[in-house]
Amino acid sequence: MYGQQEISRVTRSKQQAIAAYDRLSRWYDWFSNSSEQPLAELGLKKLNAHAGETVLEIGFGTGHALLALAVAVGDSGRVVGIDISRGMFKVASKRIAHENLSGRVILEQGDAAALSFSSDSFDAIFISFTLELFDTPEIATVLSECQRVLRQGGRIGVVAIVRDVHENIPLRIYEWFHQYLPAYVDCRPIYVQSALASAGFHIQDITRRWMWGLPVEICISKSMKGDGMTNSITSNQPRGVLRFLFRLPILLYRAHMGWLLGGRFLMLTHIGRRSGQLRQVMLEVVMHEPDSKAYFVAAGWRGKADWFRNIQTNPAVQVVVGTRTFKAIASVVQPNEAADRFYVYARRFPLAFRELSRIMMGKMVQSTREDCLRLAQSVPLVKLMPIQPAMKE
């Protein structure tokens, strides 16, 4: 979403990380047992692994979560763990052997950015205080690998320190240490929800907790693989010149030149459901109703777009379209009515309609009423009803 600050990069090498965690492995539990472990246990509870499942843990550390997962899946299930550190591998192996659970757990030393497992191998994946250790470009790679090895409808649980819109003092201090002592403080706050959504996961549950004054999120998500949406969205994120062109409308509006776009696009200002901060997004207008002066826009990600989730919590919004600015109330249109409006849009802009369906549904459909109904059932249509007369800029 627009407005997110860029997260810090990870500057230490993989070899430096291996060496650091090899050294830490013997006494890692000394400080993690009272800080990270309670949050990891909550994440495991929400992931809810059960008998017979095959579960992967990425970054298993000293093996506490592996034990809990092994108990949960029982003799009929399997737990697989991968960690980059040989030292962690040895400590976890001893812990598992001591509990007589070696028959249920398989460990591997390796890099989660290039998993060695076959596609569709796991029912669930657990990642606790590990995703933050990957450099920014690699986060998407790791989550893409998770999508690959998860079975259709599989679950992923991520526990991670997150960047918060309200940067408190502990967060600033922590990021200062990460910047100037990267070999010792190598993880940093990230945007977990955005990363999961961009990888095509459907976020089902989010829990916020605090550790040393740092915000931590426990996100449970579901793989959307096989529903025709994931691959098209994750593989077609705009880059380079195309990314600039996608951002051009909002840049024009901020430069008070939105009139150049006519009535095809609008800028929606909405309120973050957690942060309470103002957010902005550019949306294509599906329809404008002259009598009521209402505008209709479609919600991408099958209703999982951040702006759509925000307006469901705070429906009061501000709209800028062309040279007009007005306050409005956002509401979701029922599928049958939405299908009628999509049909009008498809007849008026057939090429744009087919591209809209490709982006939002993962496949290009025709402009029949049946296809419009299928689109309306998958992609929510939002009505923006003015509550005050429009003002010209």
Cα dist from 60 to 15, 50, 153, 158, 300, whole Å: 18, 19, 23, 13, 35
What is the chain's Cα-based Rg? 23
**Average pLDDT, integer, range 284-302:** 84
**Average pLDDT, integer, range 200-224:** 89
Q: Residue 327: its pLDDT value, please?
A: 92
Q: Which residues pair with 297 in a beta bridge?
A: 285, 382
pLDDT bucket at 43, cuts 50 / 70 / 90: very high
Q: Residue 231: its pLDDT value, please?
A: 39
Q: Which residues pair with 107 in a beta bridge?
A: 81
Share of the chain above pLDDT 70, in %: 79
Q: Which residues pair with 178 in a beta bridge?
A: none
Cα dist from 338 to 138, 160, 334, 362, whole Å: 39, 38, 6, 19
Q: Residue 183: its pLDDT value, please?
A: 63
Contact 56, 142 (CB under 8 A): no
Determine how β-strand 294-298 pairs with β-strand 78-83.
unpaired
Contact 386, 320 (CB under 8 A): no
Look over the chain and give the mean of its residue pLDDT values, rounded to a whole number.
82
CA distance 284 to 226: 27
Comparing 14-235 with 240-392, is the CATH topology the same? Answer: no
Q: Residue 4: its pLDDT value, please?
A: 45
Q: Residue 7: its pLDDT value, please?
A: 72
The kind and range of the H/E element at 128 are: strand 122-128
Residue 182 has which token pair? 């990267």
Q: Residue 235: its pLDDT value, please?
A: 39
Contact 131, 158 (CB under 8 A): yes
Total residue count of the chain as it appears in this document: 393
Q: For the segment 221-245, what is each residue's pLDDT rounded down to a tens digit?
A: 999 765 544 433 333 444 554 444 4
CA distance 143 to 150: 10
Q: Which of 74-88, 104-118, 207-221, 224-238 has the lowest mean pLDDT?
A: 224-238
Output the CA torsion 91→94→98→99 (10° steps).
Answer: 70
Asked whether residue 247 carries a pLDDT value surpassing 70, the answer given is: no
Residue 332 has which token pair? 């979701």
Q: For the segment 140-179, what is each residue's pLDDT rounded down to a tens digit?
A: 899 999 999 999 999 999 999 997 645 567 767 767 776 7
Q: Residue 33: its pLDDT value, please?
A: 79
CATH for 14-235?
3.40.50.150
Q: Residue 242: its pLDDT value, please?
A: 44
Contact 171, 162 (CB under 8 A): no
Domain 240-392 sits in CATH 2.30.110.10: yes
Q: For the segment 310-368, what is each residue's pLDDT rounded down to a tens digit?
A: 888 888 999 988 778 899 999 988 888 888 888 888 888 777 777 667 666 656 667 78
Q: Which residues pair with 317 in a beta bridge?
A: 328
Q: Residue 238: its pLDDT value, please?
A: 47
Q: Residue 234: its pLDDT value, please?
A: 39
Sequence spans of domains, the chain: 14-235, 240-392
Q: Residue 148: its pLDDT value, please?
A: 94
Contact 127, 157 (CB under 8 A): yes
Contact 65, 126 (CB under 8 A): yes
Contact 111, 87 (CB under 8 A): no
CA distance 318 to 330: 10
Q: Which residue has the tokens 């999120």?
A: 217
Q: Residue 230: its pLDDT value, please?
A: 40
- pTM of the predicted model over 0.75: no
Nearest Cα to Cα of residue 69 among 89, 36, 41, 95: 41
